[in-house]
């Protein structure tokens, strides 16, 4: 595979078979963000320098002409957000157009607002939001959690599959309430622990309660491997 669309590895693999990062940084300023470390970037520079990667549209177009992604799902994005709040997201719209024209599906994950592109999506695509259970100051540059939920509900009403990433969980009790809150419109939830930062959450207890709640609600769910290990590896 030679191009910006790549096969993720490690924990990222649990989100999809293919992925694409459109922007150079992200303005959402999540305090737990892993991307600056992975990219060996200064945090402040990563938060403030947000623009489409150089010739990203042309590179995606070229890769889609060379490689067949028909029927495949491409995740947007891992090391950035496809809808960086306060910045032009026209590049995301162009990328989605190219992927859809090539017969691929998209799986969006955002703390912004992607509703402007719902007209490009269909029942084969996924629109997802991240909710960590923390206060609005967990990601002070992002759309408020209530605004994210509003956009996701609109996607659901438009016939687009919707999902919620509860990763990383920063407030266990809040996340349990949110799982119940989104259960009527979310087609799937993925739940993962806070990694690389100290936490006083009893992960085994939280994981078991979250799983039981999803089962009681009849909600399709996935427990990330790092949290599953805390639960004793039970499946």
Q: What is the pLDDT of residue 12?
A: 62
Contact 164, 185 (CB under 8 A): no
Strand, helix or coil at 191? strand
Q: What is the pLDDT of residue 122?
A: 97
Q: What is the pLDDT of residue 68?
A: 97
As a whole number of angstroms, the distance between CA 41 and CA 51 comes to 15
Tens of pLDDT along the chain (235 residues)?
A: 689 999 988 766 777 789 999 999 999 999 999 999 999 999 999 999 999 999 999 999 999 999 999 999 999 999 999 999 999 999 999 999 999 999 999 999 999 999 999 999 999 999 999 999 999 899 999 999 999 999 999 999 999 999 999 999 999 999 999 999 999 999 999 999 999 999 999 999 999 999 999 999 999 999 999 999 999 975 4
Could you write out the DSSP letters of every residue in 62-99? HHHHHS--TT-EEEE-SSS-SS-TTS--HHHHHHHHHH
Q: What is the pLDDT of residue 11?
A: 67
pTM score of the predicted model? 0.95
Give, as one character, the DSSP assignment of residue 3. S
Contact 53, 21 (CB under 8 A): yes
Domains and CATH numbers, the chain: 10-230 (3.80.30.30)
Contact 47, 26 (CB under 8 A): yes
As a whole number of angstroms, the distance between CA 76 and CA 48 comes to 20
As a whole number of angstroms, the distance between CA 13 and CA 35 comes to 16
Cα separation of the two ends of the chain: 33
Could you write out the DSSP letters of every residue in 105-154? EEEEEESS--GGGGGG--TT-EEEEE--SS-GGGSTTSPPHHHHHHHHHH
Q: What is the pLDDT of residue 235?
A: 46
As a whole number of angstroms, the distance between CA 120 and CA 141 comes to 26
Contact 31, 89 (CB under 8 A): no
Strand, helix or coil at 221? strand
Q: What is the pLDDT of residue 27?
A: 98
As a whole number of angstroms, the distance between CA 220 and CA 92 comes to 28
Q: Among 34, 38, 32, 1, which Cα is nearest to 19's?
A: 1
């Amino acid at each position: 595979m030679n191009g910006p669309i790549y096969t993720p590895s490690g924990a990222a693999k649990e989100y999809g078979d293919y992925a694409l990062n459109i922007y150079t940084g992200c303005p959402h300023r999540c305090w737990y963000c892993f991307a600056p470390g992975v990219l060996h970037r200064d945090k402040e520079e990563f938060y403030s320098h947000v623009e489409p990667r150089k010739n990203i549209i042309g590179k995606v177009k070229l890769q889609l002409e060379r490689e067949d992604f028909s029927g495949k799902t491409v995740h947007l994005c891992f090391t950035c957000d496809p809808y960086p709040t306060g910045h032009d997201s026209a590049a995301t719209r162009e990328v989605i157009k190219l992927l859809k024209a090539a017969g691929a599906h998209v799986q969006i994950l955002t703390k912004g607002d992607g509703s402007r592109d719902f007209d490009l999506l269909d029942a084969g695509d996924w629109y997802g939001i991240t909710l960590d259970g923390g206060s609005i100051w967990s990601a002070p540059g992002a759309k408020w959690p209530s605004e994210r939920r509003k956009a996701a509900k609109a996607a659901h009403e438009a016939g687009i599959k919707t999902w919620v990433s509860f990763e990383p969980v920063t407030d266990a009790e809040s996340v349990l309430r949110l799982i119940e809150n989104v259960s009527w419109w979310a087609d799937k939830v993925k739940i993962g622990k806070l990694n690389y930062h100290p936490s006083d959450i009893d992960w085994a207890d939280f994981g078991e309660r979250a799983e039981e709640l999803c089962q009681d609600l009849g909600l399709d769910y996935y427990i990330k491997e790092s949290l599953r290990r805390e639960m004793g590896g039970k499946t």
